[in-house]
Amino acid sequence: MTITSPLPRRSVLRALTVAAALGGAAPASGYVSGSAAFAAEPETYTLTIRHLDRDGRVPTHYRTSVTGISGPGAGRSEQPHDASGTASVRLPGGRYLLESSLWTDRVADGTDWIVQPRLDLDRDTTVTVDARTTAPVDVTPPDGPAAFLNSGMFIEVTHGGATRMASIVKATPTLRTAHLGPEAEAGSVKQWYDSYWTTRAGGYALGRTFSGTRALTGLTHHYTAGELATLELRAVARPDAGGAGAGSGAGTGAVAGTAGIDLAPTVGPAAGPSVGASWSLPVPGTATLFVTPLRGTWDVVYTAPAAPGTRPNRYFADGIAVRAGATTTHTFDGPVVGPALTGRAGVERDGDTLTADLPLLADGDGHVPTAPSFDTAWAGLYRDGALLHARSGGLDRATFTVPPGPASYRLAATVARRAATGATTRVNASWTFRSATTAGPVPVPVSVVRFSPGLGPAGTAPAGIPLRVPVTVQGAAADGRVRALTVSMSADGGRSWTVLPVHEGAVTVPNPAAGTAVSLRAELTDTDGNTLDQTLVDAYRTG
């Protein structure tokens, strides 16, 4: 398949699920007023492509694409085919990318993929696509019994300021590749290969990139354990609405990468386009994946089990950096659930419009659910002490129109959901700040406090043992802009509170008896006088 136009990354990935025939418009012609001559049509040439299988005969099956990179044929794509194995097409002159796949009716024979990254069409030209020139792609993990899942090879060719791509996706490890034609300009050819393997405990995601003047003729790399990084993905049993099992306390989730195709659960590299692969994840449980750091960062999506008739929550973890020999852990759908500001301002003012994008139910690692479950939610905006706006629902994509000029504001929100083991049953948050009319989008100074206790697989903490709980400030008060911070805990659902000293970025919680919910509260003032009052009722439980 050839991709001929730049698209948003996820759109490109979805495009990989079908073989798209991308056509080009016919060349335009015109008449020059006052002249006897028409505008010159682009010169065209006949491109003839001969196809030979591994025995030098007409292949059983083949598919060839020719896509214009630059010149009059830029953007035009053709798929010439003839049962004789020799196909012709007439095209305007210019630089083209040619790629061809040849295969038989026997799966074990695999596929030959031949790419000519530089095809300069300036005369009638004949090209021979010969499967006898290919070499095997032999990429394997260090674990011999690991089972192959799928793979994808991609090539990107740049010329004249334009880029075109081609790819092949395989469900069997039987791919052979070859370069065809002259070398392209230095660095104009980029190619990458990703393959995925499964084991009882998880699997392997093996990726590698190349840059140069030629397409790959075969690829051999047998990975060692020392070349790989460990990506540990954990799912917490949280039997609340929208959480694991929704009352069952267990289930099976799925880990998925945004490099995957549409809604398929996969893990994949952040740099794409690419393909991904699927792994199931027991809840509670852990999937251990070994990935190649040289492929760059990795994207993961976790889909939590859901109650019948409800939408499952998906949690995105994008751009995960890994290092050979090191372990990176992401825990999904677990406590302490609360507001999060990772990668976002939270609240912005544009002219006299306030827009909030402030998730109140991010999981313990800060992953934001796509379908947060709650029973009731309310948000209100006060201006100089008077209620200006009230709305049902949280602060995801909430918009408020405010009067012009400066004023003091308070933004308050509460979310409540059914009590359940390990669930945050209520989140209350209130922010105060001053704001005035702006000439464009300007962040409003809001902050949140995140609590990160080390909890067990079920999201609980040992009863009767003091627990160190790291405290992190996100938003306007981060990076040393805290004037005052008070943290308190409650073991009776928030009826009474005990202040906990904050020392070296953490508090120590005297965990109560087994089966007790611990609630946490943070009261913060930043160096400019903006405040936060945040309460998490049933932040976690003891077990």
16-45 pLDDT tens trace: 322 222 222 222 323 333 333 445 678 999
Compute the mean pLDDT over every residue in the chain, rounded to the nearest whole number: 86
Assess contact for 543 and 462: CB atoms under 8 A.
Answer: yes
pLDDT band at 424 (very low <50, low <70, confident <90, very high): low
Q: Which H helix or E strand runs over 15?
A: helix 9-15
Burial of residue 36, with CB atoms counted within 10 A of its CB: 0-12 exposed, 13-18 middle, 19 or more buried: exposed
**Residue 399: how many CB atoms within 10 A of its CB?**
12
Give the model's pLDDT for residue 251.
59
CATH pick for 225-332 out of 1.10.3470, 1.10.30, 3.40.190, 2.60.40: 2.60.40
Task: Find out whether the peptide bond into 336 is cis, omega within 30 degrees of 0.
Answer: yes
473-525 pLDDT tens trace: 999 999 999 999 999 999 999 999 999 999 999 999 999 999 999 999 999 99
For residue 99, which of 17, 10, 177, 208 has the smallest C-alpha distance?
177
138-176 pLDDT tens trace: 999 998 899 999 999 999 999 999 999 999 999 999 999
- What's at 428, amino acid-wise? N
State yes or no: pLDDT of 387 exceeds 90: yes
pLDDT band at 4 (very low <50, low <70, confident <90, very high): very low
For residue 218, which of 70, 110, 78, 293 has the smallest C-alpha distance?
110
Query: What is the distance between the alpha carbons of residues 257 and 417, in angstroms, rounded to a whole number?
Result: 29
Q: Which has more pLDDT, 182 or 458? A: 182
Burial of residue 70, with CB atoms counted within 10 A of its CB: 0-12 exposed, 13-18 middle, 19 or more buried: middle
Query: What is the distance between the alpha carbons of residues 437 and 449, in angstroms, rounded to a whole number?
Result: 28
Residue indicated by tokens 């994946």: 289
269-303: buried (b, 16+ CB within 10 Å) or exposed (e) per residue? Answer: bbbbbbbbbbbebebbbebbbbbbbebbebbbbbb
**Whole-Å CA distances, 489 to 185, 286, 492, 522:** 64, 30, 9, 9
Report helix, strand or coil for 244: helix
**How big is the chain, counted in residues?**
543
Give the angle 375-378-383 at the CA atoms, nearest 5°: 175
266-288 pLDDT tens trace: 689 999 899 888 788 888 888 89
**Percent of the chain beyond pLDDT 90?**
72
Residue indicated by tokens 């889909």: 303
Give the model's pLDDT for residue 417.
82
For residue 539, which of 430, 426, 457, 454 has the smallest C-alpha distance?
426
Q: Which has more pLDDT, 375 or 101? A: 101
Domain boundaries, the chain: 2-22+43-222, 225-332, 347-542
Show the tokens assigned to 227.
Answer: 């070349």
Query: What is the distance between the alpha carbons of residues 253 and 517, in angstroms, rounded to a whole number?
Result: 26
Query: What is the distance between the alpha carbons of residues 397 and 381, in angstroms, rounded to a whole number?
Result: 14
Mean pLDDT of 338-364: 93
Show the tokens assigned to 484.
Answer: 């005052």
For CA atoms 449, 421, 300, 199, give the dihedral sign: positive
Backbone angles phi, psi at 355, to 5 degrees: -120, 125
Q: Which H helix or E strand runs over 10?
A: helix 9-15
Query: What is the distance between the alpha carbons of residues 227 and 224, in angstroms, rounded to a whole number?
Result: 6
Which CATH code is given to the segment(s) 2-22+43-222?
Answer: 2.60.40.1120
Residues pairing with 3 in the sheet: 165
**Whole-Å CA distances, 458 to 29, 234, 313, 339, 495:** 70, 11, 18, 21, 26
Query: What is the distance between the alpha carbons of residues 10 and 63, in angstroms, rounded to a whole number?
Result: 25
User: What is the maximum alpha-carbon separation in the chain?
Assistant: 97
State yes or no: pLDDT of 259 exceeds 70: no
Give the model's pLDDT for residue 12.
34
For residue 421, which of 536, 496, 518, 520 has the smallest C-alpha distance?
518
State yes or no: pLDDT of 454 exceeds 80: yes
Q: Which residues contact 17 (CB under 8 A, 6 or more apart)?
A: 261, 262
For residue 315, which of 414, 229, 236 has the smallest C-alpha distance?
236
Mean pLDDT of 68-84: 95
**Residue 93: how many CB atoms within 10 A of its CB?**
17
Mean pLDDT of 224-234: 95
